[in-house]
Amino acid sequence: MIQLNSGNVLLKPSHRRQLMAWLKRALRIGQRLGNFVIQISMKRIGRSYEVNADVSDSSGAFHMRMKRHDWQDAVRDLSRMISVRLHNQRLGMA
């Protein structure tokens, strides 16, 4: 399950769909692990964007933070890092 709190960042529906597409791989890996929940919060600080993610699943929980000048770069980098971390957890279970 994915929960998004966009805070003071205005997202159009097309941006939300784009965000969900980037998180699709992480969602699939997380569902295989079981009890997968990801909470994403976005906020704008000055000219940059900060994206925080709290991820929990059956094998553990972790927190990630990304700060970039563009919200799309921040979310894209964060989704890649989450996918890599979940993949490593999945390998650790085997």
Q: Does some domain include residue 89?
A: no
Q: What confidence score (pLDDT) does residue 65 get?
A: 96
Does any domain span residue 7?
yes
What stretches in the chain show pLDDT beneath 70? 94
Question: So what's the pLDDT on residue 5?
Answer: 94
Q: Which of 45, 42, 40, 67 is nearest to 55 (CA)?
A: 40
Say how many domains are in the chain: 1
pTM, entire model: 0.90
The encoded tokens of residue 67 equal 């700060």
65: domain CATH number?
3.30.160.100
Which domain does 50 fall in, by range? 2-70
In a domain, 57, yes or no: yes
